[in-house]
Structure formats: structure tokens, C-alpha cells
């Protein structure tokens, strides 16, 4: 599986750990930047790169890093078809895929350390969507939200 990875300046130091975790899990990372620390860069730019890589079929899943993880997750979820969640525990990292077909995991580099980050990514990548009827039904409701006109 190809996994898109994006980070702003706040997550940059954690990126090598994430790239290694993806490779160790037997997958190929697609580095969507940042490629150097730029203190004024903006997490939505990297969320967009990862989201578009997933939506365009360049990657099957994505990993986003920013300071808290909140902003990057919010930004990624603005793209129809992206289901991103901020995860700082292994249950959420696998359950989000199994039940909610999460395709992007977001991590807060200022919240968790490298060992937990690597474990979360490995857990996320091992997980498979269950396809259970109740989960498909719930996802259909979410997809219906995305197609509704704004009021």
C-alpha cells in the first residue's frame, strides 16, 4: 500500500519516524512535504496534498502531522471522501478504519512521542474496514451529508 505523509513545521521532526514505521509495516510512503522546516508554513497546505493524493488514487491512505493534530484533521475532512481522525491511542487508530473506514490518521507531534506515533501508524495500516452492514449504513449517512447543499 502507498501511504501519503504530510507535515507542517510542528510535525517535521516526527516525519522520519513515520516514514520508517510505514516502511517497517511493509508499505511505501509518498512524501507530500514539508521537505524542510519553514516556521511560517501552514498545515492546511499539507492536509490538501495528502487528501488529494488519497482521492486521486496516488495513495490508499494518509498520515498527517501537525502540532496538536486538530487543525490538520479538520482541514483534511473538508475534502469529500476523506475521513480523517486525530488518534492518540491504538483503539481509535484501528477502530476508525474497521468501523468508519478512516483513510487518514492525524497525529499531534507536540502531544505524543515517536514510539507511540510509530505504533499508531502500524496499527492504522494493519486495520481493515469490516464492511459490516451497520457500518456501511452509517457511512452512507455521512456521504449524504457531504452531498447536501449548504444552508
- Count of Cβ atoms closer than 10 Å to residue 52 Cβ: 16
Cα(95)–Cα(87) distance, rounded to whole angstroms? Answer: 10
Alpha-carbon distance 107 to 40, whole Å?
19
Q: Which residues pair with 29 in a beta bridge?
A: 3
Is position 32 annotated as part of the catalytic site? no
CB atoms within 10 A of CB 55: 15
Distance (Å, whole) CA 142 – CA 46: 24
What residues have CB less than 8 Å from 41, skipping those under 6 apart? 8, 9, 34
The single residue listed with the C-alpha cell 500500500 is 1
Identify the active-site residue in 4, 14, 30, 66.
Answer: 66
Give strand pairing partners of 61.
3
Residues involved in catalysis: 66
Amino acid at each position: 500500500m502507498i501511504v501519503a505523509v504530510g507535515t507542517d513545521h510542528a510535525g517535521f521532526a516526527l516525519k522520519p519516524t513515520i516514514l520508517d514505521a510505514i516502511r517497517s509495516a511493509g508499505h511505501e510512503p509518498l512524501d507530500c512535504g514539508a521537505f524542510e522546516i519553514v516556521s511560517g508554513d501552514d498545515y492546511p497546505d499539507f492536509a490538501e496534498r495528502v487528501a488529494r493524493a488519497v482521492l486521486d488514487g496516488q495513495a490508499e491512505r494518509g498520515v498527517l502531522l501537525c502540532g496538536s493534530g486538530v487543525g490538520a484533521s479538520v482541514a483534511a475532512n473538508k475534502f469529500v471522501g476523506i475521513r480523517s481522525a486525530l488518534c492518540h491511542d491504538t483503539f481509535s487508530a484501528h477502530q476508525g478504519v474497521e468501523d468508519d473506514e478512516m483513510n487518514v490518521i492525524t497525529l499531534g507531534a507536540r502531544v505524543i512521542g515517536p514510539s507511540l506515533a510509530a505504533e499508531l501508524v502500524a496499527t492504522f495500516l494493519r486495520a481493515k474496514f469490516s464492511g459490516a452492514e451497520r457500518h456501511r449504513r452509517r457511512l452512507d449517512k455521512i456521504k449524504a451529508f457531504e452531498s447536501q447543499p449548504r444552508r
